[in-house]
Structure 1
Amino acid sequence: MIDNIFNAFVTLLVTIDPPGLAPLFLALTAGMNRSERSQVGLRASLIAFAILALFAVAGTTILAVFGITLPAFRVAGGLLLFYIAFEMIFERRQDRKEKSADTAITRDHIRNVAAFPLALPLIAGPGAISATVLLSGTFQSAPQRVILMAILAACIFVTWIFLVLADRIDRFLGETGRSILTRLLGVILAALAVQFVADGVKALMAAS
């Protein structure tokens, strides 16, 4: 169980990618003081937690409505996470996030920036949502769902810390540090994604 908790925490944290969000958060909140940035960061974190919590609780039900089995979703979700890992390793994901940030700055710089694009899709993006649904299949009982919620809360708390300290973290890591860290996290996520696919294929073969 400890291994499952650790793997769940790492998977969610890597897909959210708090270090990669720091420079984007600074760009989206340009012109705000530290207090306003803290408010935006907190609101975005709470909205993202609500979105992920919904999929943690109702993820398997949503799959059942569409007639999708959990093993099939494990394979599909694992492939999606592997694609995200590929983007992280080759820095394509950061470019895509920066384009989303630029669009939001143009349309609405302050009022809704916490909801879009910070909460969705930068924090609670397709990768994080897919990972949450996958993990909801592992944490199925009521006590396990409570543990999954705690893991989500911990990941969002870490993300909020990165947002609050974004200016300091950005100066400390620099462009080279961010690049190295993102690639390292991408390799870890790729390995976790392959494990999701392997587990899904094994379950599909056992069911056939």
Structure 2
Amino acid sequence: MSWFDVALFTEVFVTLFVIMDPPGTVPVFLALTSRMTAADRRRAARTAIFVAFGVIVVFAVFGQLLLDHMGISLAALQASGGLLLLLVALELLMGKMDAGETESGGSARNVALVPLATPLLAGPGTIVATMVFVQQGVNAGESPIGHYASIGIAIVAVCICTWAAMRFAGVVHRVLKDSGVTLVTRIAGVLLAAIATQMIANGVIEFVRMA
């Protein structure tokens, strides 16, 4: 295997793109940052991407060791991420996010860390998929340089796409105005609740299979 595998890159990129869903992050990002200034919104997007990238890489390299050491199953990780997203979805639906103190840089960073960076972007689905791709290379005994380089470049590419979607969400904000963003916030809450419920259900199903 050469230092770069196009087929593996494509597989990882498509899988992570579908899971992270850059276009789908726009309404959620607008909902969570609706009260921020343009500068704070850009800062939140930047922070969320860097943190999400770091979480994905750490779990790709040390994830299985960490979970085994702590006695945590992937199903538990999935269910807990779903519960966290469900709490955020309820806040969006009840309008608590709209009234939050998101003008300050500290609050912008808080929103960027949770729930944007994790569990929305670097959530259980992204983490598990990345760990599986890494483990496949280890089990197959493939060249570590080519395998890891292909996975790493794919992760970077998806993160850039996701950052671009959030970076230019301000354009959507200017078009929709405040009333439109409020509507998008409620819709995002419903969608996020559905995603969270599915994550919890998948975790429970996995628990049953393991029993």
Relative to the length of structure 2, the TM-score reads 0.68
Distance change >3 Å, CA 148–CA 94, structure 1 → 2: farther
Paired residue for 2:21? Answer: 9
Paired residue for 1:179? Answer: 182
The answer to whether the 8 A contact 1:71-1:200 is kept is yes
Counterpart Cα distance in 2 of 1:123 and 1:70: 24
Distance change >3 Å, CA 175–CA 195, structure 1 → 2: same
State the secondary structure of the residue aligned to 2:168.
helix
Counterpart Cα distance in 2 of 1:127 and 1:48: 6
Q: Which of 75, 89, 96 does residue 92 from structure 1 map onto?
A: 96
1:154 is the counterpart of 2:157: no
**Aligned AA (1:162):** A
1:200 is the counterpart of 2:189: no
Counterpart Cα distance in 1 of 2:89 and 2:110: 16
CA RMSD across the alignment: 3.1
Name whichever of 84-93 and 154-163 sits farther off.
154-163
5+ residue gaps in structure 1? 27-36, 105-112
Distance change >3 Å, CA 16–CA 150, structure 1 → 2: farther
Distance change >3 Å, CA 86–CA 44, structure 1 → 2: closer
Counterpart Cα distance in 1 of 2:28 and 2:47: 14
Paired residue for 2:111? Answer: 122
Deviations 1:103-148 (A, max 9, x none): x3xxxxxxxx4xx343x22223235312314121123214556544
Identity %: 20
TM superposition outliers: structure 1 runs of 4+ over 6 Å: none
The answer to whether the 8 A contact 1:84-1:127 is kept is no
The answer to whether the 8 A contact 1:15-1:127 is kept is no
Distance change >3 Å, CA 87–CA 144, structure 1 → 2: farther
**Aligned AA (1:138):** A
The answer to whether the 8 A contact 1:100-1:117 is kept is yes
Give the C-alpha shift of residue 188 in structure 1. 1.2
Paired residue for 1:21? Answer: 33
Counterpart Cα distance in 2 of 1:42 and 1:206: 43
Distance change >3 Å, CA 145–CA 206, structure 1 → 2: farther
Deviations 1:54-108 (A, max 9, x none): 1111233554554322110111110111111111122112223xx142xx3xxxx
The answer to whether the 8 A contact 2:31-2:181 is kept is yes
**Aligned AA (1:47):** T
Paired residue for 1:58? Answer: 58
The answer to whether the 8 A contact 1:79-1:193 is kept is yes
Give the C-alpha shift of residue 7 in structure 1. 3.9
Relative to the length of structure 1, the TM-score reads 0.69
The answer to whether the 8 A contact 1:15-1:189 is kept is no
Paired residue for 2:3? Answer: none
The answer to whether the 8 A contact 2:16-2:158 is kept is no
Give the C-alpha shift of residue 22 in structure 1. 4.6
